[in-house]
Amino acid sequence: MDKKNQQTTKILSVVLGAAMLIAVFGTSGLMTATIQPAQAQKESAREGLDTADERVHENTGPVSDQDVRFHEGLCQGGHSTTVLDSLGGYDILTEPGNSESSDRENSESSDR
């Protein structure tokens, strides 16, 4: 191979190497940019559920029938709140529709 071809080969190798580095680092940057907004949305949604949970507690009291149903519904959708997680998560709840409040309501309606 003559000198001119060797120089051309070296230049092409450097250019291809640089392009590969740009592709690798550029792609990881795009992935990070995509992941961060998704994480922010998840945190924002969690804050919204925590706020709703606080309002239920303020309006009906903690561990009210409405509070239990609120958490049962969240769990059916695969969601939770910070307070529920700190108390043990889904495991502390009855199966949706099987809470004592639901049992009372069902027996009252059948008595009518």
Per residue in 10-34, pLDDT (tens digit) is: 787 877 777 776 776 666 555 555 5
Q: Report how far apart the first and last C-alpha atoms of the chain are (Å, whole number).
A: 99
- Specify the pTM: 0.51
Residues in the chain: 112
Rounded average pLDDT over 92-99:
73
Say if CB 101 and CB 68 are below 8 A apart.
yes
pLDDT for residue 106 is more than 50: no
Give the integer Cα–Cα distance in Å for 16 and 3: 20
pLDDT for residue 74 is more than 60: yes
